[in-house]
């Protein structure tokens, strides 16, 4: 595995890969890799000749007062995991390398960015889209892998790639969960043992909602209130929102149908956790 920190070095490797006519799989991350990330890397490895992982805690996607300075990191462990999986190129740029000048350009995706998670974090998705656009341009044509745990992010990035004609195929991959249902997230590192247990209320409420939808309940209001009740029972969890939307457009719906998505966010101790489900599929 080659570990590089400069954009120009990525270009050199990419140029080689193109000469070899190798297909390229890209897995952008903010590091502190867990099994959710490694599942993306393994899939990228299986489906492409060369696999590139990026680790960059992107300051643009954190607002004032969010956890940029405390975001968990363990670069040494991440490097050994990437090596063990057989990643070809690991790109770990500094902030200065990514944003050598104050950045004047940003990517906006109308309608998808200011709703749900974006209503709570108004600058977040523009920060995500801008850094991912940079990574797509740095790497060029590739297959890019993102987790479905960040469902809205996946829709934002897919729409950006389509609208701006990136030669990138954006692929969503299923959320990886602990056996108790808790969706893997780097931010789970903030949870105490007790909070970790309490946090399973998120996936549990989504699973109960899915079972009710599969049993025939289609009223979004009814399903929402069942989720609220389930989460309110858990004292250590404070629900921020539950939204039921059409999965790609993220438009709120009153009646649940195939293609709907239920998204929730909650505070558990210091951590702000998100989760989502296709109610016709459920938490697997
Ligand atoms: O999902 C993440 O880890 C980040 O939002 C991403 C896509 C790597 C952009 O910084």
Distance CA 81, CA 91 (A): 14
* Per-residue model confidence as pLDDT tens digits over 95-129: 999 998 889 999 999 999 999 999 999 999 999 99
11 counts as catalytic = no
Distance CA 81, CA 141 (A): 25
Say what percent of the chain tops pLDDT 70.
100
Answer whether 237's CB lies under 8 Å from 199's CB: yes
Answer whether 89's CB lies under 8 Å from 10's CB: yes
CATH 3.40.50.620 maps onto the chain at 2-173
In degrees rounded to 5, what are phi and psi of residue 196?
-60, -40
Atom of ligand 1 nearest to the CA of 57: 10
Exposure of 47 by Cβ count < 10 A (0-12 exposed, 13-18 middle, 19+ buried)?
Answer: middle
Q: How far is the CA of 124 from the centre of ligand 1 (A)?
A: 10
**H helices, E strands: number in the chain:** 10, 9
Ligand 1 pocket, 60 CB below 6 A? no
Closest protein CA for atom 2 of ligand 1: 29
CATH 3.30.1300.10 maps onto the chain at 186-277
* Per-residue model confidence as pLDDT tens digits over 24-78: 999 999 999 999 999 999 999 999 999 999 999 999 999 999 999 999 999 999 9
Q: Which of 150, 158, 160, 176 to mutate to test the pocket of ligand 1 (most atoms within 8 A of CB)?
A: 150
According to DSSP, residue 265 is labeled: E
Q: What are the CB-based long-range contacts (under 8 Å, 24+) for 202-208? A: 202/231, 202/237, 202/264, 202/266, 202/273, 202/275, 203/177, 203/275, 203/283, 204/230, 205/230, 205/231, 205/264, 206/262, 206/264, 206/275, 206/276, 206/277, 206/282, 206/283, 207/181, 207/277, 207/282, 207/283
pLDDT at 284: 82
pLDDT at 112: 97
Ligand 1 pocket, 29 CB below 6 A? yes
Ligand 1 pocket, 93 CB below 6 A? no
Q: Which of 58, 106, 118 to mutate to test the pocket of ligand 1 (most atoms within 8 A of CB)?
A: 58
Ligand 1 pocket, 28 CB below 6 A? yes
Say what percent of the chain tops pLDDT 90.
99
How high does pLDDT run on average in the chain? 97
Locate 183 and state its tokens.
Answer: 């969706």
Closest protein CA for atom 3 of ligand 1: 29
Q: How far is the CA of 230 from the centre of ligand 1 (A)?
A: 30
Positive or negative CA dihedral for 86, 68, 71, 230? negative
Q: Enumerate the H helices of 110-173 as residue ranges.
A: 117-120, 124-139, 151-163
Q: Which of 125, 127, 132 to mutate to test the pocket of ligand 1 (most atoms within 8 A of CB)?
A: 132
* Per-residue model confidence as pLDDT tens digits over 158-170: 999 999 999 999 9
What CATH fold (topology level) applies to the domain 186-277?
A: 3.30.1300
Q: How far is the CA of 142 from the centre of ligand 1 (A)?
A: 17
Atom of ligand 1 nearest to the CA of 29: 8
User: Could you tell me which residues come within 8 angstroms of residue 276 by beta carbon, excluding any fewer than 6 positions away?
Assistant: 148, 149, 151, 175, 206, 261, 262, 263, 264
If one looks up domain 2-173 in CATH, what number appears? 3.40.50.620
């Amino acid at each position: 595995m080659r570990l590089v920190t400069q954009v120009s070095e990525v270009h050199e490797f990419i140029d080689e890969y193109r000469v070899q006519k190798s297909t390229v799989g890209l897995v952008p991350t903010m590091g502190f890799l867990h099994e959710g990330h490694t599942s993306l890397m393994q899939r990228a490895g299986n489906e492409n000749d060369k696999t590139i992982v990026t680790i960059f805690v992107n300051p643009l996607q954190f607002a004032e007062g969010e956890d940029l300075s405390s975001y968990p990191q363990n670069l040494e462990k991440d490097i050994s995991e990437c090596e063990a999986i057989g990643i070809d190129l690991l790109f770990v740029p500094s902030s200065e390398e990514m944003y050598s000048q104050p950045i004047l350009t940003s990517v906006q995706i109308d309608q998808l960015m200011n709703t749900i998670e974006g209503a709570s974090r108004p600058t977040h998705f523009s920060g995500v889209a801008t850094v991912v656009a940079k990574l797509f341009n740095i790497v060029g044509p590739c297959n890019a892998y993102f987790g479905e745990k960040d469902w809205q992010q996946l829709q934002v990035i897919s729409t950006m790639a389509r609208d701006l004609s990136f030669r990138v195929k954006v692929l969503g991959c299923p959320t990886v969960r602990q056996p108790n249902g808790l969706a893997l997230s780097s931010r789970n590192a903030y949870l105490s043992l007790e909070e970790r247990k309490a946090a399973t209320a998120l996936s549990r409420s989504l699973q109960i909602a899915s079972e009710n939808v599969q049993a025939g309940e289609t009223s979004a209001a009814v399903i929402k209130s069942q989720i609220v009740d389930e989460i309110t029972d858990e004292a250590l969890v404070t629900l921020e929102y539950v939204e039921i939307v059409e999965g790609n457009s993220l438009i709120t719906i009153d009646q649940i149908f195939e293609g709907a998505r239920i998204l929730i966010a909650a505070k558990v101790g210091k951590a702000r956790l998100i989760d989502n489900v296709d109610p016709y599929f459920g938490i697997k």
